[in-house]
Chain A
C-alpha cells in the first residue's frame, strides 16, 4: 500500500486515540456499571437474557463520528409477541445513552437502523423490552480508529 500524507495523518491520529483510550479506561468501567444498573432496572432485577436481539455493528469503525448500527428483534409484532422498545447503550462514551426506539403494532417489524458516535473502542449494548415485560439483550464490541467526540 502506498502511504500518502492523508494516510500518514490518519494513522498518527489513530495511534493517539488508542493511547487516550487506555488512559481513560477507568471511566468506561464506571459507565459499564451504570449500564448494568439500567439493564437490571429494565429487567426488574437480574440481567436480560442474551437472546432474540440481533445487533449489527461494524467490527472496526474507521470514523467514530458515524458508525452505522442496525438492530432487530425476532418478533411477529402481533398481540402477545410485541416489542415495545429497543434501547442502545455505549459503555465507553462520556454519556452511555444513545437512543431508544419505540415500536407499535403498525411498525410491522422491530427493525431500526441509525448512525451513532463512538468516542473510542467499546461495547455497544442493545436491550429490547417486550410488551409482556420480558427483556432481551445483545452486545457487540466495536473497534474505533478515530474517536467521535470532537476535542
Chain B
C-alpha cells in the first residue's frame, strides 16, 4: 500500500552543521475510525514507526498514531560531523518495511 519514499537531504554540508531533512512516503494511513458503506469499521492500517539513522547511529525517530495525515511527512534536523549515509525506515502495521538512503559529503 505504501510506495515511493521521498527524502530531501542536502548533498554537502560543513562539519558540525545542523541540516534539515524532509521525508514523505505515499500511504493512505487508514485511521481505523472510518466505516465502510455497510457501517463496518475499516481496520487501522498506518505507518506506525519512522526512524532515521546516520552511519548506523540513531538520529531521529517517530511513533505515529492514526491522527497522522495520509502520506506522512516528517521534517527534522541532524548534526553531521563526517561524510556518510542516512538510512530512513518506515514500518507498516502489516509488518511491511520501506527504506530509503541518501548520501552526504562533509567538508
Binding site for B on A (CB under 8 A): 65-67, 70, 77, 90, 93-95, 97-109, 111-118, 148-151
Contacts and interface: CB of A to CB of B under 8 A. Distances in A.
Contact of A112 (B57, B62, B67): B62
Query: Is chain B's interface secondary structure helix, strand, loop, or mixed overall?
Result: strand
Contacts of B74: 112-114
A150 B36 CA distance: 10
A90 B54 CA distance: 31
Interface string B50-94: 000010011111111111111011111111000000000000000
Interface residues of B, number: 29
Given A113-B76, A117-B67, 10 more contacts: A97-B65, A99-B64, A101-B76, A104-B59, A111-B75, A111-B77, A113-B74, A113-B75, A115-B68, A149-B33
Contacts of A90: 67
A106 B73 contact: no
**Chain A to chain B: the 10 pairs with minimum beta-carbon distance, closest first:** A108-B79, A150-B34, A108-B18, A113-B75, A115-B69, A97-B65, A66-B69, A98-B67, A100-B63, A102-B61
Contacts of A66: 69-70
B31 interface: yes
Contacts of B11: none
A61 B63 CA distance: 24
